[in-house]
Amino acid sequence: MASNFLRLRKPYYVESTINCSSSSDQKLVNLSFGIDETRNQTKKRQAKEHHGRRSCLDSCCWVTGYLCTTWWLLLFLYHCCLPFTVVHEVPELMPAARLKREGLTGIHPVVLVPGIVTGGLELWEGKPCADGLFRKRLWGGGGFTQLLKRPLCWLEHLSLHNETGLDPPGIRVRPVPGLFGADYSAPGYFVWDVLVKNLAKIGYEGKNLHMAAYDWRLSFQNTEVRDRALSRLKSKIELMYRANGNKKVVVVPHSMGVAYFLHFLKWVETPPPMGGGGGLGWCAEHIKAIVNIGPSFLGVPKAVSNILSAEGKDVAYFRAMAPGVLDSGTLGLRALEHVMRVSRTWDSVVSLMPKGGETIWGNMDWSPEDEHVCDFSKKRYFRLSPSDNNVNKSNAKQVFRVKDPVKYGRIISFGKAASVLHSSQLPTAVLKEILHMSASRNFTSSCGEAWTEYDEMSRESIQKIGAADKAYTATTLFDLLRFVAPKMMNRTEAHFSHGIADNLDDPKYNHYKFWSNPLEMKLPDAPNMEIYCSYGVGIATERSYVYKLSPSNKCKRIPYQIDTSVDGEDRSCLKSGVYFADGDESVPVLSAGFMCAKGWKGRTRFNPSGINTYLREYQSKPLTSGIKSTAHVDIMGNIALIEDILRVAAGATGEEIGGNKIYSDILRMSERINLRL
């Protein structure tokens, strides 16, 4: 402002010198130069002060940028370069090329069903901040660039309505249709692309290959209410069946897509208006096989940590390496709070909660994985192979025994002691206490605008919930979540159930809330259909957590976090506040394999027509990626899995591709579960 004023005044001095003496001229000239010099000095002083004020913020931003850049670079190198180089530049290693030379061709139409977060989402209507993004991706592919350009706008448009679980006013985000919608989750990071290319080599194309895109944020029934996604899938399967000579369809769901298609199996045979009206014989007529990849049939414990604190092991590790970055008040990031606000509007997250309660996941002193041991020095798990004819014994390794079994049944423990002591040494169950606090929940918050539901809780309640030496099992943790996330749980429990049915003939199980839980629904009457449980093993997978109260007691902060300072002894399953078990890095073996190993094996009350089930496990090997990786998403490029899918699509049965292939302890775990069949 001062420099602008001087620029306006300078002509006055020049004009004033015309009628003045030389001495006056000299004085004015000196005055003019003095003003200019003063102005320059003022500028320098202001710049120096401004630089001093910004130096701290600049340094913090530089460090944050460096960490984020390094993080994403390593992620890119690990998840992108190796799979891309090996699979795409060495085509002879793609199983379809070899199988095609052997004369194998596609026979049965194939439907692919993506899981949570792997399908693209695009904008159809938005707020003014989203101008220019019509039909542009907000999720998947290049959609993540909008996170950097307009982060708050991006988060707002990915959120759903907190009461209905549907579109917020003035916003419409829809799934990207077709194969293009889920081939890559991010540039260079394949999901379905490698499998699609292999299918194309044996004759698949648009008429016999389909991607069943749906909005993975919604509850399964709401995908039908809002988008008619289930009706469109039914029509597409019927069309492909007729257009390909009445050949039955092979369905390949992945991750949460497994539960979504389980819901579809009940929906399609249920009469309208709740169901699709296909009749009791629809599945037997139209479906040959369901090849489930990385199935989360019985849920995943990491869904609990996501709801409770927006964390998993990766976030917890990052927080431990760079404390203060995610929670920084100076930088104003509040990254986890933003993630929690958005993800708690996604009903689908609750579909991934552990199902079956303590019967499946264990209680305070017992779990199916008792005697399971870990060896972190080799970053894998070892076991003694059981003497079962269907178990692959070629890779049996030395087992390292430990004195005390891990109490995996305590999915959430506050304090290390709560995760290891016998239940008799811990405080009594807090259920009554939680319900009492819930009844008196109304109070005046001093936090102003509520960022998360934690801001609507009293500090006293937060302290009582997170008191040391308290633990929660797969049964009691629902009471915990109903208290800390009441809006989300009230909304989602109308759409999902997580128990075990006493009597499946009870008419109440005709409601759609039970259809995605394999322990509360019957498989269709389709004795010639086959079901495969195909998943990776041998990778450390999150099973339970040790929590603590967050150091910060401020408003607009998540009050609980994984205690990364807690570690076990050498070769322990406890590392940085997380207990690990066998799995594919995301889904424990127990969730992925139990239904095929026991729940649906033969004729059971969950499988009354005796549909054949097959366990196909793919063993992890150290330092592998791409064509040999068995991690939850990377397995989509695994050549052994792809070959199995191609052979089934070409007409082979489960017995013809080798029957069961088991490396894990899933059979022993299943035997330890006392479930009425």
Residues 64-118: tens digit of each pLDDT: 544 454 444 444 434 433 333 334 444 545 899 999 999 999 999 999 999 988 8
HEC states along 220-266? HHHHHHHHCHHHHHHHHHHHHHHHCCCCCEEEEEECHHHHHHHHHHH
Catalytic residue among 563, 582, 632, 634: 632
Provide the pLDDT for residue 387. Answer: 39
More confident residue, 298 or 447: 298
Residue 135 belongs to a domain: yes
Residue 427 belongs to a domain: no
- pLDDT above 50: residue 264: yes
Per-residue pLDDT band at 260 (split at 50, 70, 90): very high
Report the alpha-carbon angle 511-512-517, nearest 5: 105
- The separation between the first and the last C-alpha atoms of the chain, rounded to the nearest angstrom, is 82
- pLDDT above 60: residue 178: yes
Mean pLDDT of 195-217: 96
Per-residue pLDDT band at 442 (split at 50, 70, 90): low
- pLDDT above 60: residue 498: yes
- pLDDT above 70: residue 579: yes
Residue 413 belongs to a domain: no
Residue 63 belongs to a domain: no
- pLDDT above 50: residue 380: no
d(CA 461, CA 444): 13
Q: Look-up: residue for tokens 């590392």?
A: 575
Residue 35 belongs to a domain: no
Provide the pLDDT for residue 383. Answer: 38
d(CA 251, CA 606): 20
Q: Which amino acid is at 268?
A: V
Beta-bridge partner residues of 236: none
Instruction: Tell me the percentage of the chain whose pLDDT exceeds 90.
Output: 58
d(CA 73, CA 81): 11
Per-residue pLDDT band at 187 (split at 50, 70, 90): low
Catalytic residue among 183, 479, 584, 665: 584
More confident residue, 549 or 235: 235
Provide the pLDDT for residue 639. Answer: 93
Going by C-alpha positions, the residue among 515, 429, 514, 513 that lies closest to residue 472 is 429
Residues 460-489: tens digit of each pLDDT: 888 888 777 889 999 999 999 998 999 999
Mean pLDDT of 518-523: 98
222 φ, ψ to 5°?
-70, -20
Averaged pLDDT score across all residues of the chain = 81
Report the alpha-carbon angle 20-25-27, nearest 5: 125
β pairing state of 121-125 and 110-113:
unpaired
Per-residue pLDDT band at 182 (split at 50, 70, 90): confident
Residue 171 belongs to a domain: yes
Q: Which structural domain range is residue 140 located in?
A: 121-175
Dihedral in degrees, nearest 10, Cα atoms 543, 549, 554, 556: 20
Provide the pLDDT for residue 592. Answer: 98
- pLDDT above 50: residue 523: yes
Specify the pTM.
0.83
Residue 579 belongs to a domain: no
Mean pLDDT of 265-269: 98
In the residue annotation, 255 being an active-site residue is answered as yes
More confident residue, 95 or 620: 95
Catalytic residue among 255, 348, 497, 516: 255
d(CA 205, CA 497): 38
In the residue annotation, 516 being an active-site residue is answered as no
In the residue annotation, 50 being an active-site residue is answered as no
Beta-bridge partner residues of 615: 533
Provide the pLDDT for residue 437. Answer: 56
Q: How many domains does the chain have?
A: 1
- pLDDT above 90: residue 268: yes
DSSP assignments along 420-442, one per residue: HS-GGGSPPP-HHHHHHHHHT--
DSSP assignments along 13-44, one per residue: HHHHTTTS-HHHHHHHHHHHHHHHHHHHHHHH
Residue 170 belongs to a domain: yes
